[in-house]
Structure 1
Amino acid sequence: MSDDTNRSSLSGTLRQRKGRKRTDEICDRIKDWIVDRDMTPGDRLPQEQALIEEFEASKGTVREALKSLETQGLIRTRTGPGGGAFVAELDGGRAMELLANFFFFKQPTISDIYQLRRQLEPELAASVAGRLSEEDFKRLEETMRLYDHPAANRGEEYEQRLAELDFHTVLAELSPNPLLGFICGFLQNLLQNLTICKHIYESPNPELREHALHYQVRLMQALRGANAEAARTIMYEHMCAAQAYMEACEAEVRRGFLRIE
């Protein structure tokens, strides 16, 4: 018996002991099977009958497992000549959408989000110092140009607020640590979609744009100088000030709600 077979059999046995649904077990075994064989996006999975024999599962269970993996974005299916199931690469944005669903009925607060941003964003800034190309700096500068001037109207002001967060999203995408980058990007995604934040961003407040530019201009100077420690310090100050500012705005918005009620 090969090492691959041993691993697949052991993982399947362990999962069965946890009383999980048979479909979930097959999903995980297919994922293990893909990893063990170093498959990459675009590679074709075996035909349905081969999977039934490989995992000793019914046709219905295998089909349900493949459908689940497709919903998760890990495979894609194609019908017709040359069709079948193929390994797919889950898009980062899609992964964040799926993860955000976990918080749909228990949305984190601004304080919750900034508690993490204060810890992680400084490390994100430090991680890219000395690693950015001129093309990377160009991406960051192009983002900043969207809000380096007073907004002409409320619509533009709202778009500027989102662009300010996009600056941090670009930094997250440039991080050499993909896990750190994903988590920071996810926190920014939460801020963009948090109901209270939408109310804050929709309210006229030019100070928010000026606040972001103040720190981001300083941060860009530190990054161009490849000064990781300065980048870390500036970003920490930025996150602390942003938290205080957003929480003050949150209190004001909530007071407005109370007056309306």
Structure 2
Amino acid sequence: MDGAAPEAQRPRRSRPVRVADEIKQWVVERDLKKGDKLPNESAMIAQFGVSKGTVREALRILEAQGLIATKTGPGGGSIVGEVTVERARALLGNYFYFQDLSVADLYQMRKALEPELAASLAGRLTEDQLSELEDLAKRFDHAARDIEEEKQQHVASLAFHARLADFAENKLLGFVIGFMARILTDLTVYRGLYDPPNAELWRKGRELQLRLIEALRAGDAEKARDTIASHMRIAEAFMQEQEAHLARRFMDD
């Protein structure tokens, strides 16, 4: 026995979902690109051996996923679309929002991946890219004066890491790190993990981001790796402290 679930125990997939998968496979096998046309409705009915309603529902599924687009009017029809990074992260986020992710879960991944990203970018960024990171790091030149500003500072700090991920040459690595920054931003805002304010976190975080930029500019991969690893450890300790503070506050209430 290979441990696979018996056929009877596997969730049944509707016919439109199966046809949508077949259409995707058909597109991949022909190496179609964004903007390439799909067969017309009649041709797909014949090719996949299903009804008009099933084909239309399958196409609606693919359109909702961003994999195809529909053009109306003369010469219209279905064409291959392109799933943007923002859409992919949003769809994946819909799954993880129901998984009760913790700060520890996210930082386990961040500590493993972000130092490697930083090291891989050392000496490879343009001056324009480095200047953009500097602008993000220097956006706030003072500790937060109130809770709202503290929240903005947390969001800006994570935007720095998301932007760094955008520069990744390894697109999978960049996607995962950018996705984690998005999820952590949402957790921070939804759970109020920026309250109470922490001036020391702002000071240390800003200092380490600027030190990272120096290492990237100098092409010092080891310094870049060590700097962001330190940043991850400090940020994780703070965020876990905030989680504990929030839990105590709820218990007191």
Contact 1:192 1:198 in 2 (8 A): no
2:62 & 2:244 partners in 1: Cα distance?
A: 43
User: Corresponding residue for 2:5?
Assistant: none
User: Corresponding residue for 2:52?
Assistant: 59
Distance 1:18-1:154 versus aligned 2 partners, 3 A rule: closer
Q: Does 2:70 align with 1:77?
A: yes
Contact 2:68 2:80 in 1 (8 A): yes
Distance 1:32-1:249 versus aligned 2 partners, 3 A rule: same
Root mean square deviation of aligned Cα? 2.0
Instruction: Please say which of residues 21-30 and 169-178 is displaced more in the overlay.
Output: 21-30
Q: Does 2:110 align with 1:110?
A: no
Q: Which residue among 152, 162, 168 is the counterpart of 1:175?
A: 168
User: Corresponding residue for 2:7?
Assistant: none
Instruction: Encode CA deviations 1:11-65: one digit per residue, 9 max, x unaligned.
Output: xxxxxx9964322222122112222222222222221111112222221111111
Instruction: Please say which of residues 192-201 and 231-240 is displaced more in the overlay.
Output: 192-201
Q: Which residue among 9, 29, 33 is the counterpart of 1:36?
A: 29
1:97 & 1:213 partners in 2: Cα distance?
A: 28
User: Corresponding residue for 1:235?
Assistant: 228
Contact 2:117 2:168 in 1 (8 A): yes
Contact 2:113 2:173 in 1 (8 A): yes
User: Corresponding residue for 1:21?
Assistant: 14
- In the comparison of the two structures, how many residue pairs are matched? 244
Tell me the amino acid that sits aligned with residue 194 of structure 2: Y
Contact 1:144 1:167 in 2 (8 A): yes
Contact 1:196 1:250 in 2 (8 A): no
What runs of 5+ residues in structure 1 fail to find an aligned partner? Answer: 1-16
What runs of 5+ residues in structure 2 fail to find an aligned partner? Answer: 1-9
User: Corresponding residue for 2:131?
Assistant: 138
Instruction: Please say which of residues 94-103 and 38-47 is displaced more in the overlay.
Output: 38-47
Distance 1:151-1:122 versus aligned 2 partners, 3 A rule: same
SS of residue paired to 1:86: strand
2:91 & 2:100 partners in 1: Cα distance?
A: 14
Tell me the amino acid that sits aligned with residue 237 of structure 1: S
Q: Once the 2 structures are TM-superposed, how far is the Cα of residue 191 of structure 1 from its aligned partner?
A: 0.6
1:202 & 1:89 partners in 2: Cα distance?
A: 39
Contact 1:172 1:185 in 2 (8 A): yes
User: Corresponding residue for 2:200?
Assistant: 207
Q: Once the 2 structures are TM-superposed, how far is the Cα of residue 152 of structure 1 from its aligned partner?
A: 5.1
Report the TM-score when normalising by structure 2: 0.89
SS of residue paired to 2:150: helix
Contact 2:38 2:78 in 1 (8 A): yes
2:12 & 2:32 partners in 1: Cα distance?
A: 29
SS of residue paired to 1:201: coil
Instruction: Encode CA deviations 1:53-81: one digit per residue, 9 max, x unaligned.
Output: 22222211111111111111111113223
SS of residue paired to 2:70: strand
Identity of aligned residues (%): 47
Distance 1:42-1:152 versus aligned 2 partners, 3 A rule: farther
Q: Once the 2 structures are TM-superposed, how far is the Cα of residue 121 of structure 1 from its aligned partner?
A: 0.7
Q: Does 2:251 align with 1:258?
A: yes
2:199 & 2:156 partners in 1: Cα distance?
A: 14
Q: Which residue among 73, 89, 94 is the counterpart of 2:82?
A: 89
Q: Which residue among 236, 239, 248 is the counterpart of 1:246?
A: 239
SS of residue paired to 1:77: strand
